[in-house]
Structure 1
Amino acid sequence: MKTPYFTIKDIMQITGVTKRALHYYDKTDLLKPSKIESNGYRLYDQEALGNLQTILLFKEMNFSLKEIATMMKLSKDEQKEILKEHRGTLVQRKQKLETIIDQLDEYVNGTDISQLQLFDDSPIMTIQEQYESEAKFVYGDTSKYQEFETNMNRLSAQDLQKAYQQFSVNMETVFYELAKQQDRSPASTEVQQLIDQWKKQLESFMVCDPEILVCIAETYTTDRRYALYFEQFGDAYFLRFLYQAILVYVQGEGDESSLV
């Protein structure tokens, strides 16, 4: 029986690979044509087609073309050993992707970015660690930050994590209550009492003077990282309402007698 040859068009119809890819594989010696006609047409025999299918299989398994080129020179048994090792890598990636999907869902559903575990087991610092580094960079030379750092250093890692989690829950409670008062004036007694609770939560970690409180309020409204977080509490005007309420509190325009 005469050995059949396939043209590039045939190969494209059989495998779905593009003409450009076949030319690139030829140029890089990954897959050479079995035969080139006098008119320049590239032809591939059944062995070449099988090699192409193996190349496409490895490519789908997330090997680079450089890695595939090396593997194509190995025996089937040697390839299988590499594939067994590669499987472990794919399982780790699968677990990472599952974590990313879970964290994405939590973030979309309103979980604060500081509570996400996305950078665990990563050389990238966690969001909480990034926040701490950012705060130290900006406020590290202030007495207030040094006081905060001293307080944090007294806690174990486990206690610190619990403290952050409880802080997050307490803050969310305050923000939900504030959202219920959004139809009131930011200077109303009810709103200012809640702002006082907000400040007390902050002071579980550090003493907050007026300057720090204003800085936090401005960060809420200007830092895009907070935008999605605050969407869970109120409408599009909630952040502005919160900002105004904090300024009233700082300026002492609320009913201070009710806060004692």
Structure 2
Amino acid sequence: MVMKIKEVANIAGISVRALHHYDQIGLLSPTNTTEAGYRLYTDDDLELLQQILFFREIGFPLKKIKEIIYSPSFDRQEALELHQKMLVEKRRRLDQMIATVEKTIQHMKGDIPMSNKEKFEGFDFSENPYEQEARERWGDQAVDESNAKLANMSKEEQSDLSKSMNAIYTKLAALRHDPPHSEEAQTAIQEWYVFLNKMGSYSLDAFKGLGQMYVADERFTKNIDQFGKGLAKFMCEAMAIYADTHKKQD
């Protein structure tokens, strides 16, 4: 059985553009094409696509996925078993996050006490839950670099990274009632820009776009505003000012 690219995109839940990209970089080239140049995918192609998407789900960059799946030593069953273990761990983290949300709701109602430590149980910034959206907006480079650096870090280094991130959020939260163009706000937002660029390669436009996503996507807003209501909006405005100001200086 063969399928056209649009059919494959629909069944796999990804975009036609992504499949074109996979073909262009040699990650997944369809077995057959028609005389008119239309891509035709076989069942074997779909199995390979499933494997690619499993690797994507757990955060591997495309370049690394290509190296892995085309290696002579690649064992698909072994890889699937590893995927299963990692996804089970991801589910465990989500269950913990759900439990934290439920406790927070009870705490807000006055039914139970909740310590500051308990409020952040389940958060893990070593993974980016919006990776696909970031890739679609700005391409793979910054995200792939971030993933590669995270993959080479020890658990202790990842923990230190998370603490640094939280410290910047906390500092910005304390400034969120100040004008976003103030010197203090711009100094703090520069720390955030520098921090992000330690993990990847974020241009000023990407930095500004990320800030816009903080308010456009309620998941970002809720996550960030846990450090202080209105923080996402403040960061969005401060990031836009920072980007525009420094683009003029370049």
* TM-score normalised by the chain length of structure 1: 0.45
* TM-score normalised by the chain length of structure 2: 0.46
Larger Rg: 1
